[in-house]
A and B are shown apart, each in its own frame.
Chain A
Amino acid sequence: MTDASNAAPLREKKSLLVVDARTKKRNAAEARFKMYGIIAITLGLLFLAVLLTTIISRGTGAFTQTFISVPVELREDKLDKKGNRNLEDIKKVSTFGYNPLLGDALSAVIAEGGFTTEITKSKELRKLLSSSAVGQMRAYVIENTDQIGQTVTFDFFASSRVDGYIKGRVTREDLARDKNLSAEHLDLVDQMIEAGVVRKKFNPSFIFGADASESRPEQAGLGVSMLGSLFMMLVVLFLALPIGVAASIYLEEFAPKNRLTDLIEVNISNLAAVPSIVFGILGLAFFIQFCGGYLGIAAMKASAPLVGGLVLTLMTLPTIIISTRAALKAVPPSIRDAALGVGASKMQTVFHHVLPLAAPGILTGTIIGLAQALGETAPLLLIGMVGYIASNYPDSVLSGFTDPNSAMPAQIFEWAKRADPAFYERAWGGIIILLVFLMTMNIIAILLRRRFERRW
């Protein structure tokens, strides 16, 4: 007999069919909680939808560009006065020498199309075209000297104002005080569109081209800074992955648990939260000023993707170490016991059994770390990988690591801060490309995880 059996019952007897007030309250609380969750997720999805539609609606314009096709007579008397096709002589003709050819060609287009316009001056006519047009012609002539004397049809970029007009960004009112283009030009453009001389089409040079000067937004592309990002990611992958995995394996499997390892552990976690700009200034001080300047290592110079990669490696290491350690921790200890029990050494246990089981987690962590590094901007600005530097392709794979370059996010930042609104559109377009890269990397991470995941 215990005391409990003597006590009065705490609950009075009631039918199960009657829901008491307390239960009702609990159920209501649960229902409310579920509702909060649904609201939170709906809000999240809503923001995501707003983000994506904004990016897509503003950015897709950057992938198309307005082109004007102009047949140009490459007159021998202007381009090769001596007529002996000597490349050195041809190169002496600067882009200014091509201006008259272009003006004449445009006049011819107007005459041929029967367009009516007040504009007659060559200089005024050329405002329809990007200032890159003469450069394009000159490059073509130097490549194909045999074409001198012939008439060649070029697809020139329209100037950014014309492009803006066609994309609806520029109106006639806007041009009232604009010295780059006038309303008459637009009247002419309208006729040219009708005749099919002016067309908007897909512009591969936005994806593959180099950055251009502030006055030629129509010519600017992301290609070179994309290469800069690629070389940096190579540095990060080949440094951060082995160092990070080795450090994690040592800390997780071999290191004694004491004050020192505790301290290291805490500091690794803290490093993951250090603002990236701090790593940037560290890179500036250590890699560029100390290694490059004081020690005189030639490859360690400002704006080099090698230095950018090293800085991003420092930034990515904590992420990789933390996720690798989590993956190693998740391997059940029974597997370690099993391997040790049959007489495997500690290292055999780790490399034969633990590491393969942790591989999916390690790969996921690495790819997420890389994706993070790919989108990092602030530290790159500090080490001089600013956007406008990305105007030349590197000469070789090796010089890809050391030649001054930029990176995708830095290039986007550069475009976003330039004055011409045509760059604004390109910044959004750049964001789309960056997001495509990040999504691809995340999909690869998911696929790898699926592929290597083993159950026990």
Chain B
Amino acid sequence: MDDLRYMEMPVDQDTKISASNVQIYYGDNQAIKDVNVEIADKTVTAFIGPSGCGKSTFLRCLNRMNDTIDICRVEGTIKIDGDDIYDNAVDPVQLRAKVGMVFQKPNPFPKSIYDNVAYGPKVHGLAKSKADLDVIVEKALRRGAIWDEVKDRLHAPGTGLSGGQQQRLCIARAVATEPEVLLMDEPCSALDPIATAQVEELIDELRQSYSLVIVTHSMQQAARVSQRTAFFHLGNLVEFGDTSQIFTNPQDSRTESYITGRIG
């Protein structure tokens, strides 16, 4: 059934990430079973599914954040621009510069707003001078749609901002290293509706430059921000297709049950 849907994919976007036969284990426990997925460039892809279905696990494998968990084991291949990211030659640090990540809970460093954003570029040596760095920080904060709110207090602690502002700061921090892919793990679950709306608007703007993958529990959010949606259930990728098709005309009965609220 998967093959049929792939043929319906719009062909105007290149494939950025392609995963084939991915199995993920936590010790003896298989969290992800045989997932094949192609994530397009300059597109928002949403991962939905009930809690514990493995969507966050899969997301964290796309920039090898799961390397920090000793018992986590990944099989199969995940390619970004044709390069296997689990190849021995790949340094996860370089990979993470290319594939940025925003987490569920806003997690700014307990440092100034400026230092929060400047940290990534500094680590990767993107700025040659202080003036360069200033430009990068401003650009990132503007992309994070938070520049106007913080431009007068760049040296105030990032932890003093409100939840929504903190999350946009984290997005700014992630885009400051100029990644090509941005992974977002339930970026709005700790935010109120207004902050959520701001972040969603931001996601839509970021789509112009990046390939975005967002994990969300809110089906409305998936419907609002994404162009493609993948539905995970019990570690399986049940259905993957255009968002409009998934929400209006699901092919699998499990997908239909989930989006109509009967399972999950």
Check B107 against A353 for contact (C-beta < 8 Å): no
- With contacts A341-B174, A455-B110 taken as known, whether A334 is within 8 angstroms of B159 at the C-beta atoms is no
Flag the segment in B36-44, B116-124, B217-225, B241-249 that touches A. Answer: B116-124
User: What are the residues of chain A within 8 A of B174 when measuring CB–CB?
Assistant: 341-342
Q: Does A345 belong to the interface (CB within 8 Å)? A: yes
User: What are the residues of chain B within 8 A of A357 when measuring CB–CB?
Assistant: 110
Q: Does A335 belong to the interface (CB within 8 Å)? A: yes
Q: Does A145 belong to the interface (CB within 8 Å)? A: no
Contact of B96 among A256, A335, A341 (CB under 8 A): A341
Q: Does A340 belong to the interface (CB within 8 Å)? A: yes
- With contacts A340-B65, A341-B65, A342-B119 taken as known, whether A335 is within 8 angstroms of B109 at the C-beta atoms is yes
How big is chain A's contact interface, by range? 20 to 34
Check A343 against B173 for contact (C-beta < 8 Å): no
Within the complex, the shortest CB–CB distance from A10 to chain B, in Å, comes to: 33
Instruction: Tell me the total A-B contact number using a CB cutoff of 8 A.
Output: 68
- List residues 404-433 of chain A with CB under 8 A from any CB of chain B: none
Contact of A343 among B110, B123, B170 (CB under 8 A): B123
Complex: how many Å from CA A344 to CA B94?
A: 9
Complex: how many Å from CA A359 to CA B103?
A: 25
Complex: how many Å from CA A256 to CA B67?
A: 12
Check A343 against B159 for contact (C-beta < 8 Å): no
Check B123 against A334 for contact (C-beta < 8 Å): no
Check B70 against A343 for contact (C-beta < 8 Å): no
Complex: how many Å from CA A342 to CA B107?
A: 12
Complex: how many Å from CA A340 to CA B68?
A: 9
- With contacts A338-B109, A341-B103, A344-B93 taken as known, whether A257 is within 8 angstroms of B120 at the C-beta atoms is no
Complex: how many Å from CA A456 to CA B173?
A: 17
Within the complex, the shortest CB–CB distance from A336 to chain B, in Å, comes to: 7
- List residues 58-96 of chain B with CB under 8 A from any CB of chain A: 63, 65, 68, 70, 93-94, 96
Check B119 against A334 for contact (C-beta < 8 Å): no
- With contacts A256-B70, A334-B107, A353-B109 taken as known, whether A341 is within 8 angstroms of B101 at the C-beta atoms is yes
Q: What 1/0 flags go to A341-370 for Cβ under 8 Å of B?
A: 111110010001100010000000000000
Q: Residue on A with the closest CB to B103?
A: A337
- With contacts A338-B109, A339-B109, A345-B93 taken as known, whether A456 is within 8 angstroms of B70 at the C-beta atoms is no
User: What are the residues of chain A within 8 A of B123 when measuring CB–CB?
Assistant: 342-345, 348
User: What are the residues of chain A within 8 A of B100 when measuring CB–CB?
Assistant: 341-343
User: What are the residues of chain A within 8 A of B68 when measuring CB–CB?
Assistant: 336, 340
Q: Does B97 belong to the interface (CB within 8 Å)? A: yes
How big is chain B's contact interface, by range? 20 to 34
Q: Does A81 belong to the interface (CB within 8 Å)? A: no
Complex: how many Å from CA A342 to CA B123?
A: 9
- With contacts A334-B105, A338-B170, A455-B159 taken as known, whether A344 is within 8 angstroms of B110 at the C-beta atoms is no
Contact of A342 among B70, B94, B110, B173 (CB under 8 A): B173
Check A344 against B119 for contact (C-beta < 8 Å): yes
Q: Does A454 belong to the interface (CB within 8 Å)? A: yes
Contact of B159 among A256, A337, A456 (CB under 8 A): A456
User: What are the residues of chain B within 8 A of A341 when measuring CB–CB?
Assistant: 63, 65, 96, 100-103, 174
Complex: how many Å from CA A256 to CA B70?
A: 7
Within the complex, the shortest CB–CB distance from B208 to chain A, in Å, comes to: 21
User: What are the residues of chain B within 8 A of A334 when measuring CB–CB?
Assistant: 103, 105, 107
Check B96 against A343 for contact (C-beta < 8 Å): yes
Q: Does B108 belong to the interface (CB within 8 Å)? A: yes
Within the complex, the shortest CB–CB distance from B123 to chain A, in Å, comes to: 5
User: What are the residues of chain A within 8 A of B102 when measuring CB–CB?
Assistant: 341
Check B110 against A454 for contact (C-beta < 8 Å): yes
User: What are the residues of chain A within 8 A of B177 when measuring CB–CB?
Assistant: 342-343
Within the complex, the shortest CB–CB distance from B133 to chain A, in Å, comes to: 14
Check A342 against B96 for contact (C-beta < 8 Å): yes
Contact of B70 among A257, A335, A348, A353 (CB under 8 A): A257
Within the complex, the shortest CB–CB distance from B115 to chain A, in Å, comes to: 10
- With contacts A256-B70, A334-B105, A357-B110 taken as known, whether A342 is within 8 angstroms of B120 at the C-beta atoms is yes
Q: What 1/0 flags go to A246-285 for Cβ under 8 Å of B?
A: 0000000000110000000000000000000000000000
Complex: how many Å from CA A308 to CA B210?
A: 62
- List residues 5-23 of chain B with CB under 8 A from any CB of chain A: none
Check B120 against A343 for contact (C-beta < 8 Å): yes
Complex: how many Å from CA A352 to CA B122?
A: 12
Can you list the 3 inter-chain pairs with the closest CB atoms, starting with the nearest? A343-B97, A342-B120, A334-B107
Q: List 13 A-B contacts (CB under 8 A).
A: A334-B105, A337-B101, A340-B96, A341-B96, A342-B123, A342-B177, A343-B94, A343-B120, A344-B123, A345-B123, A352-B119, A357-B110, A456-B108
